């Protein structure tokens, strides 16, 4: 089975440029999550979708960040304009049922390693 | 607020058992997870335990949960050099779908 697929794996960009991170969840999963990992803040949830609809975006740091899920097999996280403090690893994850009562596990992709210089 | 705490570093010798500890504050946590992250890689789910269980065993891994003390541990038997990684404890709150609260991660170093 293919896992959660993210692209690009690594990106280096200049401050002020637009960055688009992409994610393909596991087929059949109805929940999709975007997490960010930094040394200072650890792993934090940015936003999650259920059936392509954003449910909780309270973790999105500011208006420069936006996420979309146009269909069940694709999601993007966009940063415009990017800043050096956005440098982090961005993980996409997916699950069937969102975890919780169903106990369905949340599977992570390999991450997109972003450096903004 | 919700918080998950872990010790930052553990060093063991190959063949010994490793015990990684975690404490959490949210008493409504329904599921607790252990993830492994190898250098430069993503998060790999190792195991999880439902809050009404005390113990779960899966091959070399044993998870112990003390719900009263909000304490979770992961024991790795016969630790191998390939087990060297960062181990994250995470809690999932009841009714808060998908919002995993992660600990800071414990770096496990296995010496040959």
Q: B40: pLDDT confidence band, cut at 50, 70 and 90?
A: confident
- Distance CA(B78)–CA(B31), nearest Å, equals 26
Q: What tokens appear for A7 in the block?
A: 């692209």
Q: Write the pLDDT tens digit of every residue in B42-79.
A: 888 899 898 889 999 999 999 999 999 999 999 999 99
- Distance CA(B9)–CA(B86), nearest Å, equals 9
Q: What is the per-residue pLDDT for B9? A: 95
Beta carbons within 8 Å of B90's beta carbon, 6+ residues apart:
A43, B4, B32, B33, B34, B35, B100, B101, B102, B103
Q: What is the per-residue pLDDT for B51? A: 86
Q: What is the per-residue pLDDT for B42? A: 85
Q: A19: pLDDT confidence band, cut at 50, 70 and 90?
A: very high
B102, B4 contact by CB (below 8 A): yes
Best residue in A49, A90, A103, A106 to probe B by mutation, most B CBs within 10 Å? A106
Q: What tokens appear for B4 in the block?
A: 């998950």
Of B35, B42, B98, Cβ closest to residue A95: B98
Contact list in B for residue A90 (CB cut-off 8 A) is none
Mean pLDDT of chain B: 91
Residue B75 CB burial class (10 angstroms; 0-12, 13-18, ≥19): middle
- Distance CA(B61)–CA(B66), nearest Å, equals 17
Q: Write the pLDDT tens digit of every residue in A53-100.
A: 999 899 998 899 999 999 999 999 999 999 999 999 999 999 887 665
A117, A84 contact by CB (below 8 A): yes
Q: What is the per-residue pLDDT for B98? A: 67
Q: What is the per-residue pLDDT for A1? A: 62
Q: What is the per-residue pLDDT for B37? A: 94
Contact list in B for residue A113 (CB cut-off 8 A) is 40
């Amino acid at each position: 089975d293919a896992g959660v697929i993210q692209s690009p794996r690594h990106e280096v960009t200049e401050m002020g440029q637009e960055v688009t991170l992409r994610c393909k969840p596991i087929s059949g999963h109805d929940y999709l999550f975007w997490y960010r990992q930094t040394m200072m803040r650890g792993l934090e949830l940015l936003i999650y979708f259920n059936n392509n609809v954003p449910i909780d975006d309270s973790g999105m740091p500011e208006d420069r960040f936006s996420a979309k899920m146009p269909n069940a097999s694709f999601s993007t996280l966009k940063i415009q304009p990017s800043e050096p403090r956005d440098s982090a690893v961005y993980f996409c994850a997916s699950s069937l049922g969102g975890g919780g009562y169903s106990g369905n596990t949340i599977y992570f992709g390999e991450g997109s390693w972003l450096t903004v210089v | 607020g919700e918080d998950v705490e872990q010790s930052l570093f553990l060093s063991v010798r190959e063949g010994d058992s490793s015990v990684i500890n975690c404490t959490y504050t949210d008493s409504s946590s329904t599921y607790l997870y252990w993830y492994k992250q190898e250098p430069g890689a993503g998060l790999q789910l190792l195991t999880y335990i439902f809050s009404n269980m005390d113990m779960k065993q899966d091959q070399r891994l044993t998870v112990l949960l003390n719900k009263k003390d909000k304490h979770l541990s992961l024991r790795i038997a016969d630790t191998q050099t390939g087990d060297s990684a960062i181990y994250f404890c995470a809690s999932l709150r009841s009714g808060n779908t998908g919002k995993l609260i992660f600990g800071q991660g414990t770096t496990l170093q296995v010496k040959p």
